[in-house]
Structure 1
Amino acid sequence: MELETSLFIPLKPSFRSRMTTRIKATYALDTPFWRISQSGVWASGCYMFALTALSMPTGLGTMLDIFMMITVGTLGLVCSANLIALLLALIGLRIPCLFTGGVLFNLITFYFMFWIPGSGIIVSIVMSVIITLLGILLGCWTALVTSQHIRTQTKWVMTFLLSIVPFIIIGSYFVEKSDIVGVSPIPYTAISTIPLTSPAELGNFDTQHFTYGSGTDIHREEYGALADLKSSSVDASSYIDKWPWLRTLSWGFDQKSLPLNGRVWMPTGKGPFPLVLMVHGNHLMEDHSDDGYGYLGELLASRGFIAISVDENFLNYSVWSKIPDNDIKVRTWLLLKHLQEIQSFSEQPESPFYEQVDFDNIALIGHSRGGQAAAMAADADRWFLSDSDLNKDLKNFSIKAVIALAPTDAKVDGMQAKLRNVSYMVLQGARDGDLNDYFGERQYGRVSFATNDVGFKTYLHIPNANHSQFNTSWGGLDTSLPKGLFLNRNDLMKGSDQRQVAKVYVSAFLETILHDREEYTSLFRDYRTGLQWLPDSIYFNRFEDGKFIELAAFDENKNSSTIVDELKTEVSGGLNWTEESLTPENTGILLNWNNDDSQESTFSLSWDDEEDGVTDYFTEADGLSFSIADQTVDELDIQTDTLPIAEIEIALETSDGISVTLPLSEFMTIQPMIVPQFTKSMWLEKHFDKGKYDTPSNGIYQTVELPFEVVEKINSSFVPENINKITLKFSEGPGQALLGDLGLYQN
């Protein structure tokens, strides 16, 4: 008899049953080790959330912002990690789902934390991975250390390895190297230091400090209930169309009632005193900027100036409400409205401004966007000619000087400020991580003077200075966190030193222009006359005044008059030249030579002996002036040497055949081209913020003055008024240099 058998085939669980089983097993593989490791994931998240909170202030206070951001981030981590874990379990992956969910949450969140502020896709991905991995390492280290199944000696070894490896990796990648190399300036025997105490020292005036404001400010009591003077509000609705409701909620007003708030430092005693308005630039609106120039306010008041720091924080950027439209124009308009308000105060007998303000001697100081606003305010008719309420008083204000600290230079209504007979000074750092183009030099090129005008313009370039440190409340970073972690701070000038430079130059400039103290003028012609007052650094400076007589214009498209109608050029030794410019407003000629030791490259400019009137100009001049900038870099845009550009000699020839040749280094050290590294690595330099810093570098002009009296001492037969040829000689190569601003100066 044959037995019948049947094959047992188990029934496949239903889809619903399988999903239920997987859901129940969601946390099955999240053993105590992985649960403890989750602490590192959370800790790295807290670190990033805290950094982000610093760049996203709410106005409620830093500690509360950090607490709220960490709380929100932690809730996001918990919810997202569990949700991702559930999804991973449903897929059927045999991994610690909750731990993996936390890791994926961090990867995605960190990416957006870097990407949204503009770090760039590649950099955001890399940094997200690195910080997430560090969190994982921290978590695993914590789990191992707390484990009871591992010997103590093993724990110490693991602790050492897990602690030191990340620092070695990060340290080797983000090592900061010295990248700005300069040469100590060679002192020229005819240059002596100014025999005065530093203009950065407090003056002889006792001072008083007070504020004026709307009286209703909800953030700062000095402009609210404790304001010493009640000021007006102004309607800017004709200039601002969009004013977000969140901004109104934050400040308690909109564009129809902007307050006029100011911090005042004033000398005591009988006036009137020159008036100096200072205005900040664009910063986070919740991080108030107007108190960051107190170091200048106190100094200037002690030296006999009324200094006022103007509050325009409500026009600044906010993460929550962005920035008002047309903000630079409104910043300028508000600056002028402050002048009107101070004029009103000065007519009230009970006001501390009463009969104390000299409206014929006004200076404007601006930082960043405020620097552009200051220049625009000195050229107000270009933008505000149709503003009848403003124009009725503008004729009462004589703006004689503008100082720009790392200014912007954007076109507003398609126009830019052009200053005429207004003295102008700009201070700019090569470490400027916000405005890494030298915008101040553009405005410098748009300042002009009538013949023999008493004004002048000057430019001081500080290679180790950055953007933010001119303001004491902006900190040392030029970009917000976490982006600011990438900035190279090696060799960066200390904030106190950078502000020392500002104090010396701002004080001396205003003493010269508004107090007519001519003894400070040499500081702007040659920074070496004030080196005893300045931090140890290299500097570049340009100078031109109303007595400067242009000998050659190197831009055919530039409308300028020269004393020589037709210049003849002559080159030798493998040198060629082209018209070039550092900026559209600052033109020159690019000299490019590729000689060897056996030959000398020369560039000559000459003119006919019979040029009408040329002799008279040379007779009245004290010397020859020109600006020169090193443009010599290698293929990698890295300085080729720590020495200045190849030795340059300058030869002056006269129509009667007499020639004198002098080395340029006897008069001024030409510094090597500055090619700063803004970020912590060359890879970041190319990829960070859409390659913002990976741009061609330009040389920085240095003005050189060659006194005729020195030439006459070398050869008593040399007669300056007979000069008809100037030659630059380059004995080494290859090299490049920009030449501009060739003319005659008078002391």
Structure 2
Amino acid sequence: MSYFLKTIIILFACCTVYGQNSREKIANEGNFKTEEFYYQPQSNDPQDLLRTDVSSYFATPDEAVQEQMDNVPISGVGHYPVGKGPFPLVVIFHGNHFPLRPSHEGYKYLTQLLASHGMVGISIDGNFLNGRVSGEMDARAILMLRHLQVWRKWNQTPQHRFYQKIDMNSIGLAGHSRGGEAVAVANLFNKTLHDQNDPLHNFAFNIKGLFAIAPVDGQIGKSTKVVINDTNYFVMHGSHDGDVYNFAGLRMYDRAFPVDHDAGGFKSLLFVHGANHNYWNTVWQYSNDGGSGFGMSSPYLQITAEKQQLLAQIFMRAFFEWTLQGKSRKELFTGSESLIPTDIVAVQQYSDREHIDLNNYEEDVDSTTGTYPGVQNNARNMSQFKEASIKGGSNVTSQQTHGAFVTWNSNDAVYEIKLPSQIEKLVADYPYLSFRIGQMYEKEPQHNPVEGQDLSLNLQLAKNTTVPVKISRFTKLVAPVPVFKFNYDISKTNMQTVRIPIEKFTNNKIPLKDITIRIKFCNTPTGFIVMDDIQLSK
């Protein structure tokens, strides 16, 4: 077989656990002995297992690229755990950069961590798709799937070092920038282009998780609608991203698990104040371009590459431990257990299949009716309460969802949501009140968003009024980050998910009958927020 593997043995003896004061521990190496490895073709022979043809998907590479698109290499670098296995497989794909630079080498800090915790992590080489190019997104996705085909072949080949070492039923895909969209497209093509009779398109892999870092969106083309509904999805992005400055991955997040379908997993989001585009990659972090903060200005300082990479390690390890190894990490992704370093400000969003929509604002623009049949909404003492498309506070943030826009100019503004009686018997199975909320960014501030903005909630249960509960008991409602790129405003409104256990209102002492949820905007005399996805959840 015309390939080679270069291995370097590394031994880690650190046992890692979750719990209090475990921010650094979760990013520590596990107690698996690992080997670093490279694979690439040894010749230009098109029959080589490690060569493939992507020319039907993309045929116009950058002029600096020497590879022919009908005979490109299947090459990668990564780490695997030493042991009997089988181990889950995670494939990472870089984004667009200079085609002669080894962008795929920039995620070895992630593949090493994954391997030390019992997962095979590889970062694939698609640099021949980089440069001054467009229209190559489907080729990126196909390349990821061709790598999976090679791993399936190795896993089935006796005497191969990876024979029966790979759990092909537990596959994760991760990507950065254009690679971040490629993971979603690959997941789509895995089903829509699968043909068991065509060796180049025999896919049908069991992909259980997609992890996107500062992804683009829409480069596959408007004719291909990418909607994730069959696997788990996580996206992370930074406020100081000068490359993908519109947080395009937020659109993919909004489209995932559409409200008219049963969700196929969970989705989660992390938006990091001060993070840029390039620092997620150890090769890119030294480039002096927009991705590394060139031309950016903000009252918030850019965080270091070390801190960004720590966040990537924390969340990638936890995400794939949950989705591929079955170790529940829900508390980390909902934000109820925060492992984010205390000197970093970040907001999180979360949703999964186990919820009841009270108001998702997608069914109509009537602000008095809810999503769940019989839900009634009543807004009092507001200067504005309307349902509309959410596009953020500036023209560089584009979401694909609808929500409620709320402004108030007094301390007695109230939003009431009266639930129908048929929901009462479901509350025991869905014991959390959950919603997305964010302070609006205004180019010309009229409502002065503040750090520590707070809301008070209580329940009216027949004749009983429960104790008020403030959002600040569960999360900090942060203010938008003003960021400019060469004096161009790229600031964003970003919501965050709040989850409140219903027992915090009642202490399990008041019967949940004739329920009205009351949200009071009484912390400041004026404010402007957006809300979405008000749910009962697990």
Give the TM-score of the pair, scaled to structure 1: 0.63
1:648 to 455, 466, 470: 455
Determine which of 602, 619, 626 is the counterpart of 2:414.
602
Aligned-residue offset at 1:668: 1.8
Q: Which moved more, 1:430-439 or 1:567-576?
A: 567-576
Give me the whole-angstrom Cα distance separating, in 1, the residues matched to 2:471 and 2:489. Answer: 33
Corresponding position: 1:272 with 2:86 = yes
Q: How does 1:485-500 map to 2 (within 5 A)?
A: 485-488=294-297, 491-500=301-310
Q: Please say if 1:242 is aligned against 2:60.
A: yes
**Residues 548 and 743 in structure 1, CA contact (< 8 A), matched pair in contact too:** yes
**2:316 equivalent in structure 1:** 506
Structure 2, unaligned runs of 5 or more: 1-18, 392-397
Instruction: Pick the aligned partner of 1:694 from 489, 504, 507.
Output: 489
Distance in 2 of aligned mates of 1:215 and 1:738: 56
Look at both structures and tell me which one has the larger radius of gyration over its CA atoms.
1
Q: Deviations over 1:24-48 (max 9, x none)?
A: xxxxxxxxxxxxxxxxxxxxxxxxx
Cα distance change, pair 585–355 in 1 and its aligned pair in 2 (3 A): same
Q: Is the 8 A contact 2:409 2:525 kept in 1?
A: yes
User: Could you tell me how far apart the structure 2 residues matched to 1:428 and 1:243 are?
Assistant: 28
Of stretches 488-497 and 501-510 in structure 1, the one that deviates more from structure 2 is 488-497
Greater fraction helix: 1
Deviation at 1:205, TM superposition (A): 0.7
Distance 2:437 2:457 in 1: 12
> Partner residue of 2:334?
525
Alignment of 1:628-643 (within 5 A): 628-631=437-440, 633=442, 635=444, 640=448, 643=451
Which amino acid in the other structure matches residue 285 of structure 1? P
Among 216, 220, 225, the alignment partner of 1:408 is: 216
Q: Which amino acid aligns with 1:238?
A: S
Q: Give the superposition deviation at 1:732.
A: 2.6
Distance 1:282 1:535, change over 3 A: farther
Structure 1 pair 478–517 and aligned structure 2 pair: CA distance change class (3 A): farther
When structure 1 is superposed on structure 2, of 254-263 and 360-369 the one drifting more is 254-263
- The 8 Å contact of residues 452 and 547 in structure 1, kept in 2 or not, is answered as no
The one of 377, 388, 394 equivalent to 1:569 is 377
Aligned-partner residue type, residue 233 of structure 1: R
Mapped contact 2:436–2:534 kept (Cα < 8 A): yes
Question: Residue 667 of structure 1: CA displacement?
Answer: 2.2
CA contact (8 A) 1:655 1:722 kept: yes
SS of match in other structure, 1:517: coil
Q: Is the 8 A contact 1:289 1:474 kept in 2?
A: yes
Deviations 1:661-681 (A, max 9, x none): 222222221001222233xxx
Q: Quick one: which amino acid aligns to residue 239 of structure 1?
A: Y
* Corresponding residue of 2:528: 736
Deviation per CA, 1:234-267: give whole Å up to 9, x if none. Answer: 11221124346x44xx42x311101111113111
Whether 1:552 aligns to 2:359 is yes
Q: 1:292, CA displacement in angstroms?
A: 0.2
Inter-CA distance 586–476: structure 2 relative to 1 (3 Å threshold) = farther
Using the alignment, how far apart are the partners of 2:342 and 2:81 within structure 1? Answer: 28
| Aligned residue in 2 for 1:588 | 403
Q: Which residue, out of 369, 384, 405, partners 2:193?
A: 384
Match of 1:625 in 2: 434
Q: CA deviation at 1:439?
A: 1.4
1:195 is displaced (CA, Å) by: 6.9
Match status 1:727 vs 2:519: yes
How far did residue 389 of structure 1 move? 2.7
Structure 2 distance, partners of 1:282, 1:335, is 15
- How far has the Cα of 1:615 moved from its partner? 1.8
Amino acid of the residue matched to residue 535 of structure 2? G
Q: CA deviation at 1:446?
A: 2.1
Separation (CA, whole Å) in 1 of partners of 2:215 and 2:37: 28
Deviations 1:151-182 (A, max 9, x none): xxxxxxxxxxxxxxxxxxxxxxxxxxxxxxxx
Match of 1:17 in 2: none
2:257–2:263 CA contact under 8 A, matched in 1: no
Residue of structure 2 in register with 1:671 after alignment = 478
Instruction: Tell me the distance in 1 between the aligned counterparts of 2:445 and 2:434.
Output: 33
**How is 1:135-284 mapped onto 2 (pairs within 5 angstroms)?**
193=20, 198-216=25-43, 231-243=49-61, 246-247=63-64, 250-251=65-66, 253-284=67-98
d(CA) in 1 for partners of 2:232 and 2:342?
25
Q: Does the CA-based 8 Å contact 1:423-1:456 persist in structure 2?
A: yes
Separation in 1, partners of 2:51, 2:325: 33
Counterpart for residue 704 of structure 1: 498
Provide closer, same or farther for how the CA distance between residues 388 and 674 of structure 1 changes in structure 2, counting only shifts above 3 A: farther
SS at match of 1:503: helix
> Between Structure 1 and Structure 2, which shows a larger proportion of strand residues?
2
Q: 1:494: Cα distance to partner?
A: 0.6
1:331-410 map, 5 Å:
331-380=140-189, 384=193, 389=198, 393-395=202-204, 397-410=205-218
Q: Conserved in 1, the CA contact under 8 Å of 2:195 and 2:203?
A: no
Q: Contact (CA 8 Å) 2:61, 2:128: kept in 1 or not?
A: no
Map of 1:421 onto structure 2? 230
1:324-335 pair list within 5 angstroms: 325-335=134-144
4+ aligned runs moved over 6 Å, structure 1: 194-197, 449-454
Aligned equivalents of 1:197, 1:283: Cα separation in 2: 30
Structure 2 CA distance for aligned equivalents of residues 346 and 569 of structure 1: 56
Taking a change above 3 Å as real, the CA distance of residues 265 and 535 of structure 1, as seen in their structure-2 partners, is farther
How many residues in Structure 1 have an aligned counterpart in Structure 2? 505
Change (3 A) 1:341 1:386: closer
Check the 8 A contact 2:457/2:517 in 1, yes or no. Answer: no
Tell me the TM-score normalized by structure 2.
0.86
CA drift at 1:730: 3.0
Per mean C-alpha deviation after superposition, the further-off stretch among 367-376 and 582-591 is 582-591
Cα drift, residue 196 of structure 1: 9.1
Are the aligned partners of 2:115 and 2:121 in contact in 1 as well (CA < 8 Å)?
yes
- Which deviations, in whole Å up to 9, do the C-alpha atoms of 1:16-70 show, x marking residues without a partner? xxxxxxxxxxxxxxxxxxxxxxxxxxxxxxxxxxxxxxxxxxxxxxxxxxxxxxx
Q: 1:209 to 1:634 in 2, by over 3 A?
A: closer
RMSD of Structure 2 on Structure 1 (CA): 3.0
Q: Contact 2:193 / 2:201 at 8 angstroms: preserved in 1?
A: no
Letter of the 2:499 partner, please give it.
E
Check whether the contact 1:277–1:364 (CA below 8 A) recurs between aligned residues. yes
SS in 2 for 1:507: helix
Give the C-alpha shift of residue 345 in structure 1: 1.7
Contact 2:462–2:513 (Cα < 8 Å) also in 1: no
- Secondary structure (helix, strand or coil) at the match of 1:351 reads coil
**TM-aligned CA distance change 1:388 to 1:281, over 3 Å:** farther
2:242 aligns with one of 433, 448, 452: 433
Distance 2:283 2:23 in 1: 31
